[in-house]
Every structure is written in structure tokens, then in C-alpha cells.
Amino acid sequence: MHYNTLLIFRNGPFENNKNRDCLDIALACSAFDIPISLLFIGDAVLQLTRDLESQIIAQKNIANTLRALEMYDIDKIYVSAADLSRFNLDESSLIVSCNILEQADIALLIRRQDKVINL
């Protein structure tokens, strides 16, 4: 039996390697047919925005991997509505299609999981 697993992204782009590590975990879970969902809260919502030009600061960009998630059957991507509005963002600012959740629904999303990985 496979556990429903949620990965929580909490870090801003280029802050550290944790968002990339989370994505690697997501791809690994997909390879083993583990049902995986991704949740972006706090500064991590910025990771989903267009126009990140990582080469200017000699960093790697995970945008292409994010766009490829659909090919790995990872389509359950959730984003905090409060954090999007905090940064003046909306659905059209994001590079992948996401489910935008209010805070109460985020708590319920977490409760529904069997495992939660929080980097």
C-alpha cells in the first residue's frame, strides 16, 4: 500500500537548496507510484512565479522541472491564497496550474495526508 504524501515548500527562490531537494523527492515518489501532492506556502509561492532569471546570479533554475511535473503525473499542486495576495500575485503569475487554497483548507489538506515531508 502507498501512503498519500504531501511535500511542503516553505523557502523563497535561491534562498537554499531545499526547494530543489523537495522537487527531487517529488520525482522519486512519482517513480515509485507514491501519490504525492505539493504545497507552496510563505515565501515559496515566489518559486512559482514567471520571469525568474537565475543565470544572472549564477544559480540553477527549477522552473523547468516544475513545468515538467505534469509529465510525471504530479498534478496536485496547492498554493496558499493568503501568501499569493501578500506578494500581489494571482493564478496568472504562476508557471504551473495550481489549486489556490485558503488557510482553513490548507490545514484540512495536511490532515488528509498519511505522510508529510516539510523541508
Partner 1 sequence: MMELLEYETLHIINKNPGNTQIYADCIQNLLEGDAVLLIEAAVYASCDKTMALYFPKYIPLYTLKADVDARGISQRMSDEYSSIDDDEFVKLCCLYRKSISWF
Residues of this chain that bind partner 1 (CB under 8 A): 10, 41-42, 103, 106-108, 110-116, 118-119
| Residue 29: its H or E element | helix 18-31
Nearer to partner 1, 59 or 118 (CB): 118
**CA 34/CA 71 separation, integer angstroms:** 15
Cell of 69: 511535473
To partner 1, the closest distance from the beta carbon of 36 in angstroms equals 15
Nearer to partner 1, 7 or 63 (CB): 7
User: Is the Cβ of residue 54 or residue 118 nearer to partner 1 in the bound state?
Assistant: 118
